[in-house]
Amino acid sequence: MRLGILGSGSGSNMQALLDAIDDGSLDAEIALVLSDKPDAYILERAAKAGLPTGVIDCRGFKTKFPEEAQAETAAALKAAGVELVCLAGFMRLVKAPLLEVFPDRILNIHPSLLPAFPGLEAWKQALDAGASEAGCTVHLVDGGMDSGPILLQAKVPVLPGDSAESLHQRIQVEEHRIYPEAVRRLAENL
Ligand code: GRF
């Protein structure tokens, strides 16, 4: 299974996928890593691992993922032979035409127990809401904000004295476990 990764941040989830591939628990390869941020650490990590990388030109838009940029992204992923696209901390909403090129083949990892707390800093939303439990979700992307069929979830407790950072760290440990597992399960059924 050839994976394409889209990320805007540190790329720890991409690293988790790569680690699972390296230790043989995920039968896949990462064919291309793309970021909308030229200085994102995910690109540095990918380059260090010898993976092909590229930058998505979002035409100066801060949060929008313009249609031309989505079409270029789809073309780059296709040219790299990508079969499954993993969003890993990618901070723009994916819509057509990218979704149309990879129907039911784009996954996202989100740091909450969806449908609770979609959107930004979901771990902080959980903390602010006084939730006793938080977690993470891998789901198929459907063009909405952190919506789409849920593939796998993991719960973590919210502990007394948790800060946003300590809770996010605990959630990320689970993210790194369930993302490769969700990709493995989905790939088996394709
Ligand atoms: C993760 O918390 C993920 O759930 C969210 O963005 C963060 C990305 O982290 N979508 P990283 O870049 O994989 O370290």
List the CATH number of the domain containing 11.
3.40.50.170
Question: How many structural domains are present in the chain?
Answer: 1
Q: What is the distance in angstroms between the CA of the first residue and the CA of the last residue of the chain?
A: 10
Q: Is the pLDDT of residue 74 over 90?
A: yes
Between 106 and 189, whose confidence is greater? 106
Is 110 a residue of the active site? yes
103 within domain boundaries: yes
- What residue spans of 23-118 are helical by DSSP H? 41-48, 67-79, 98-101
132 within domain boundaries: no
Q: Using CA atoms, how far apart are residues 84 and 56, in angstroms rounded to an integer?
A: 18
Taking the alpha carbons of 26, 30, 35, 40 in that order, is the dihedral positive or negative? positive
Distances (CA, A) of 135 to 10, 87, 115: 19, 17, 11
C-alpha of residue 97 to centroid of ligand 1, in Å: 24
Q: Is the pLDDT of residue 56 over 90?
A: yes
Q: Using CA atoms, how far apart are residues 49 and 126, in angstroms rounded to an integer?
A: 34
Predicted local distance difference test score (pLDDT) of residue 37: 98
Query: What is the model's pTM?
Result: 0.97
pLDDT, mean over the chain: 97
Predicted local distance difference test score (pLDDT) of residue 190: 87
Between 143 and 47, whose confidence is greater? 47
C-alpha of residue 14 to centroid of ligand 1, in Å: 9
Contact 13, 176 (CB under 8 A): yes
Q: Is the pLDDT of residue 18 over 90?
A: yes
Q: Could you count the other beta carbons within 10 Å of the beta carbon of residue 47?
A: 12
Q: What's 137-167 look like in SS3?
A: EEEECCCCCCCCCEEEEEEEECCCCCCHHHH
163 within domain boundaries: no
Which residues' Cβ are closer than 6 Å to ligand 1? 7, 9-13, 42, 88-89, 109-111, 136, 172, 175
Q: Using CA atoms, how far apart are residues 130 and 27, in angstroms rounded to an integer?
A: 39
Instruction: Copy the structure tokens of residue 82.
Output: 């990508």
8 within domain boundaries: yes
Q: Using CA atoms, how far apart are residues 56 and 74, in angstroms rounded to an integer?
A: 11
Predicted local distance difference test score (pLDDT) of residue 12: 98
48 within domain boundaries: yes
131 within domain boundaries: no
Q: Could you count the other beta carbons within 10 Å of the beta carbon of residue 40?
A: 22
pLDDT in tens, 119-144: 999 999 999 999 999 999 999 999 89
171 within domain boundaries: no
Domain extent for 97: 2-119+138-155+176-189
pLDDT in tens, 104-125: 999 999 999 999 999 999 999 9
Average pLDDT of span 2-24? 98
